[in-house]
Structure 1
Amino acid sequence: MAASAPVFIDVDGSNIAVRQIQGAAPGVVWLGGYKSDMLGTKAETLAAWTVSEGLAYLRHDYSGHGESGGEFADGTISRWLAESLTVFRRFSKGKQILVGSSMGAWIALRMVQELRKAGEARVAGLVLLAPAPDFTVELIEPMLTDAQRRDLEEKGFFAEPSDYSDQPYIYTRALIEDGRVNRVMTGPIDTHCPVHILQGLADPDVPSSHALKLASMLPADDVTLSLIPDGDHRLSRAEDLDMLKRAVGDMVRRAA
């Protein structure tokens, strides 16, 4: 299915690309990972699936990602969260299922907090793939080398080779400092909705222990944790995509 052309909206000076499929509620909202875009395999799979199910579907690229404007190195969790909330409020109606991949799971959990704070209780379910909430604090900071700490101090960033791109990953001091004020894994997390976590046990980027820690902080009676023995971080194989569609379909039925 060819993706329709995006529309663009200005959010705090960045031109944010948005794609929307009209359909029934509960709708599905895709939140991608760090340095990924909304035309990736999982996002496109959900686009085709929501069309077949007659459901609304919403996705966007964070600033500095994909088709959106802005510089990647200027991005922080706070900035990408603000963009995601603006898109959610402007383009979605009624109950929604948030589907967050990797960093997108962090954005999703923060969105729930901010929406509840504002009295907007429209998130009816969360599906989190290889979730990486608090990754700057939990996964990056403890592993920093002396050279990386020096780069952060002197240059304001450090670069790491990426397994998923020819371009290195850039981690800025602003991203890491901002990550500390957006932490969600500091105690019990009350999402006020069911949560389904999909985690590969062969994930080299986000260890399964991180998903288990997250699950332990969520209300047990509303959490499903699916561990995929040979699943990697992308979770983009045919069997992974089938599991994703089943998980989202189950959330939709529960919310209907």
Structure 2
Amino acid sequence: MRFYKNKQNHKIAYKSIKGRRLGIIFIHGLNSDMNGAKALTVQRYARKNKLNFIRFDCRGHGKSEGKFEEFTISDWRKDLIDIIDNIAKGPQILIGSSMGGWLMMLAAKTRPQRIKGMIGLAAAPDFGKGLYASLNKKNKKEINTQGITKYSSYGFSYYLTKKFFIEAEKNKVLKKPFHFTKPLVLIHGLKDTAVKEDIPRKIMKKVTGKNVNIIYLKESDHRLSSDTDLKIIIKSIDLIRNSL
């Protein structure tokens, strides 16, 4: 494991392997980290195919510096851009899981020349408003009066701040057409209870390019980590590589 120190002197943990010019960057989801089954599967694929590969922890996640509640989507976007600008070399395929799917879209807007394709795994762009709506009355009251609340989901507890929701609104990517003409694959499980099944279609409608594919998996949930799910992720990477 290595660390990149950003302009705020925060350390961002990452792991990388060197290969040919094309690279893959894996972006984890909210309250997750770079060590999930999906990231490790893609790393094995990259090593086998001699591709550059990077997985990293956004600040406040995993081994990177800071507490989760100190950061927002704006900070995590900067983390990804820092990785693209300072660690990654050459053209990249971005693979974003859940919130990582939102971050990859933000990065594609910021560094369009570097991004040659994207794969969204239960991609969850613009989830701030929906997340706030799902909070109970106590959580909402604490957000509005104290600026922070303890939130529990899927067996995990973490803190959400008022700033988190403010920054989420500032970073929406589906309010208007999303200019991206490179290959985009959106993989979504129909048993996903965290991200609605119509989100991939909403993304497809906003993306200006024609090379957009949606893959629905009937028996898969939000994690997309079964053997079948992982094989489809790998096939999707092949699909993008073969179209470049």
For 1:171 and 1:249, the matched residues in 2 are separated by 37
* Percent identical: 28
**2:144 — aligned with what?**
153
For 2:202 and 2:158, the matched residues in 1 are separated by 25
For 1:156 and 1:248, the matched residues in 2 are separated by 41
**Superposition map of 1:1-256 within 5 A:** 6-11=1-6, 12-116=8-112, 121-137=113-129, 139-163=130-154, 165=155, 167-219=156-208, 221-255=210-244
For 1:72 and 1:143, the matched residues in 2 are separated by 20
For 2:226 and 2:209, the matched residues in 1 are separated by 28
Instruction: Map Cα deviations across residues 101-137 of structure 1 (whole Å, 9 max, x no partner).
Output: 0000110000011114xxxx01000000001001112
SS of aligned partner of 2:213: strand
SS of aligned partner of 2:100: helix
Gaps of 5+ in 2: none
For 2:194 and 2:148, the matched residues in 1 are separated by 19
For 2:132 and 2:198, the matched residues in 1 are separated by 17
Q: CA deviation at 1:94?
A: 1.5
For 2:21 and 2:243, the matched residues in 1 are separated by 12
**1:3 — aligned with what?**
none
For normalisation by structure 1, the TM-score amounts to 0.91
SS of aligned partner of 2:22: strand
For 1:143 and 1:60, the matched residues in 2 are separated by 29
For 1:212 and 1:169, the matched residues in 2 are separated by 30
Q: CA deviation at 1:169?
A: 3.2
Pick which of 241-250 and 168-177 moved more: 168-177
Q: CA deviation at 1:220?
A: 5.7
For 1:237 and 1:169, the matched residues in 2 are separated by 26
SS of aligned partner of 2:198: helix
Which letter does structure 1 place at the counterpart of 2:214?
L
Pick which of 193-202 and 219-228 moved more: 219-228
Instruction: Map Cα deviations across residues 70-116 of structure 1 (whole Å, 9 max, x no partner).
Output: 11111101101111101111111221100000000110000011114
For 2:181 and 2:85, the matched residues in 1 are separated by 19
Instruction: Map Cα deviations across residues 210-245 of structure 1 (whole Å, 9 max, x no partner).
Output: 222112212362100001111100000000000000
For 1:227 and 1:193, the matched residues in 2 are separated by 20
Count the aligned residue pairs: 243
For 1:227 and 1:159, the matched residues in 2 are separated by 33
Instruction: Map Cα deviations across residues 24-60 of structure 1 (whole Å, 9 max, x no partner).
Output: 1321110110011111110011111111111110111
For 2:139 and 2:107, the matched residues in 1 are separated by 30
For 2:95 and 2:21, the matched residues in 1 are separated by 15
For 1:111 and 1:136, the matched residues in 2 are separated by 18
For 1:178 and 1:160, the matched residues in 2 are separated by 18
For 2:193 and 2:61, the matched residues in 1 are separated by 23
For normalisation by structure 2, the TM-score amounts to 0.95
